[in-house]
Homo-oligomer: A and B are copies of this chain.
């Protein structure tokens, strides 16, 4: 896969042999380097967001498994321009473990390294339910804003603080119509009957909070928008960025039907959707389904960063 990506985008990207590291070919000097990564199987995440204006690099692990600590350390060494490195990490136990270990090693070597942990998945209904809020599709919005901001903000603590604020203002909810395929057959996914859907699933096939029979795109939109409304407590005229993300095997046609249903509900809430993105951004291999993300825009500058040009194949 990585060889194919590097062939297709040889004008944008370069790899490091025998690793899952993909770096932007043109890495501007005098900025904080932004790295992200995690398991593969989520394409175009994260390689599709490497390039001028977004990430300086990413580290790809095997399908649904994080990269090694050594690879992350090497990516930090290669990308640090002297102003430090910000790691954007999706909140999964294994990902947090390897990125945190790599951070500690690189810091011991003298690199300034900070971490933004994205946990936008708001499917966890009950506090007693021992699951963490996972990092899913809104990660891409966080990557875009921090990527653009890294051309302005040269203080690593400030850039991390912006990232934390973005995460605090992000929520995502997903629904599956079919499970993902696993290469590793030992791994357990969920199963669904032909007409069943599953709310709140994770991007590695983690189980959700409720199965039901599929009725219509509109009913899906009502469930997901209501759940997000409960997170945000929508107020009239608040500004939001919207991402409707296909999980890999859902036709764009269906995403647009759902987009229309969502738009009508958000209009009723009186909120201002000032930025929209519809497509496959953070997939779950060949899972059929979608996720709905909202990011509350608390600062007009965030919108400018979302709209800024970038040279990335997946944005």
> Quick one: closest B residue to A258, CB to CB?
B4
A window 262-315: CB within 8 A of B: 263, 276-280, 283, 285-286, 288, 313
Chain B CB within 8 A of A40 CB: yes
Stretch at the interface among A129-137, A143-151, A224-232, A243-251: A243-251
A251 touches B283 (CB 8 A): yes
A65 to chain B, nearest CB (A): 13
Interface size on A, residues (CB 8 A): 37
Bound: A278/B279 CA distance, A: 15
Chain B CB within 8 A of A5 CB: yes
A4 touches B288 (CB 8 A): no
Bound: A286/B252 CA distance, A: 9
Q: Which of A9, A63, A258, A260 has the most CB of B within 10 A?
A: A260
B7 touches A263 (CB 8 A): yes
B8 touches A249 (CB 8 A): no
A4 touches B263 (CB 8 A): yes
> Quick one: closest B residue to A257, CB to CB?
B1
B252 touches A249 (CB 8 A): no
A window 1-32: CB within 8 A of B: 1-5, 7-9
Complex contacts, A276 vs chain B, CB 8 Å: 7-9
A252 touches B44 (CB 8 A): yes
Chain B CB within 8 A of A255 CB: yes
Bound: A307/B256 CA distance, A: 28
B249 touches A288 (CB 8 A): yes
A256 touches B43 (CB 8 A): yes
Chain B CB within 8 A of A119 CB: no
Bound: A275/B112 CA distance, A: 39
Complex contacts, A250 vs chain B, CB 8 Å: 249, 286
B8 touches A253 (CB 8 A): no
Chain B CB within 8 A of A91 CB: no
Provided the pairs A248-B251, A286-B251 are in contact, do residues A4 and B40 lie with their beta carbons within 8 angstroms? no
Chain B CB within 8 A of A103 CB: no
23 contacts between A and B (CB under 8 A): A1-B256, A2-B256, A3-B256, A3-B263, A4-B256, A4-B257, A4-B258, A4-B263, A5-B256, A5-B259, A7-B259, A7-B260, A7-B263, A8-B276, A8-B278, A41-B253, A43-B252, A44-B252, A248-B252, A249-B249, A249-B286, A251-B283, A286-B288
